[in-house]
Structure 1
């Protein structure tokens, strides 16, 4: 198999020590079933628990595991970007480390990828989040839809399949991961949505999705709205 067949699963990690072993086991089962080369790239966002120790242990036992460890807490977007930079394949799969995303959906999403699309997004038709997280998400989505028309039903689902070369062209800023669909569209990506399973969180507590974070996202939306309006795009007819 060549580099095009291989895929990289990028996983930001912040205080998920009790979920990581189970998560990797599920990823390995799903990834191996595809018959393709793959790797799991964990990015430890300066966890204060034993997450890095667990990741090191997994890397010592499994050749598929690689990792990046931050010296300071930089946030989920920075962790995703570090994973994209470190990945050794042309196809990137992103997902959370809290066990809410189901790795069993990976093979089906990979089948959809590349068939007239450069990005596949998971659609959590039946979400298993807490009440406050669902409410804050609805508020954020309504505000976002009024400013950013990305045509996606569930932009907040972390389970996505994307072309790495397009990801590396995206502008990088805090909370950019919330806008991957529109940012990828600006690079010419066509998007396909696939219904995915969504589970209740494993161990630990949620770090994202609270009401204050939803309201703070308004600031990000202003910046993304500016990027959309000022974006430069062109099509080359011919060149020498």
Structure 2
């Protein structure tokens, strides 16, 4: 892939009405600075605020904006998958819609992405989360690394650059977005990391409780561990 290829920014959204316009303005500035064609695909996860109205307005004003609106709340992983299905490019950039990820990091990550890797992961070396959330993430990462080390520092950072064709091959299940690195590696992806900015949430509230994440994480580790061990991979030497 060249440094002129189009990319798609995929953004799951659930009740982020106070962040969306500022977020898109930052994405547009960062994306335009690359000189590449681009698009933004917002996936509204059945928000109960005015998020969808704002997304519709953005899509009406900017040709780069498209959206998918769920009929019912399906969760972040489902929203990411819907964005991947809707993407009209070979490169997907994922990020959260809460303004904690910084769109200004996208150009540097795209510069690293290319012939030598199929996935670039943001590394939040200076996180701005609450103390409890940082500690719980560290514990979860240590447990995960002991069972399936994916070789990256920050698997939980939503800011990632990935090849669309590989994403479409991944098994789909609830919370799969937490395991993108190891799942991509099973499909041959080479991974690089880039240190990125992480910001405090400006508006809205976190949608995921610490205890809920911990319990789901334990359950998911068992399932993902099984998937990795039972994965079938092959290379073709010749075909007619």
Q: Which TM-score band (shorter chain)?
A: over 0.9
CA contact (8 A) 1:133 1:209 kept: no
Matches of 1:19 and 1:200 in 2, distance apart?
12
- List, as ranges, runs of 4+ consecutive aligned residues in structure 1 with deviation greater than 4 Å: none
Matches within 5 A, 1:58-69: 58-69=58-69
Distance in structure 1 (CA, Å) of the matches to 2:196 and 2:209: 19
Q: Deviations over 1:31-90 (max 9, x none)?
A: 000011000000000011110011011111111100000000000000000000001001
Q: What SS does the aligned partner of 2:232 have?
A: coil
Distance 1:76-1:11 versus aligned 2 partners, 3 A rule: same
Aligned to 1:101: 101
Where 2:30 maps in the other structure, the secondary structure is helix
Alignment match, 1:179: 179
What SS does structure 1 have at the residue aligned with 2:35? coil
Shift of 1:140: 1.3
Task: Tell me the C-alpha RMSD between the 2 structures.
Answer: 1.2
Q: Deviations for 1:70-125, whole angstroms, at most 9, x for unmatched residues? A: 00000000000000000100100000000000000000000000141000000000
Q: Provide the rounded CA distance (Å) in 2 between the counterparts of 1:214 and 1:139.
A: 9
Give the corresponding residue for 1:210: 210
Structure 2: runs of 5+ lacking an equivalent: none
1:228 aligns with 2:228: yes
What is the deviation of 1:154? 0.2
The size of the alignment, in residue pairs, is 238
The aligned counterpart of 2:26 is 26
Q: Does 1:148 align with 2:142?
A: no
- What CA distance in whole angstroms lies between the structure 2 residues aligned with 1:115 and 1:131? 38
Q: So what's the TM-score if we normalise by structure 1?
A: 0.97
Shift of 1:136: 1.6
Name the CA distance, whole Å, in 2 between partners of 1:64 and 1:153.
32
Which position in structure 1 is the counterpart of 2:56?
56
**Could you say what secondary structure the match of 1:189 adopts?**
coil
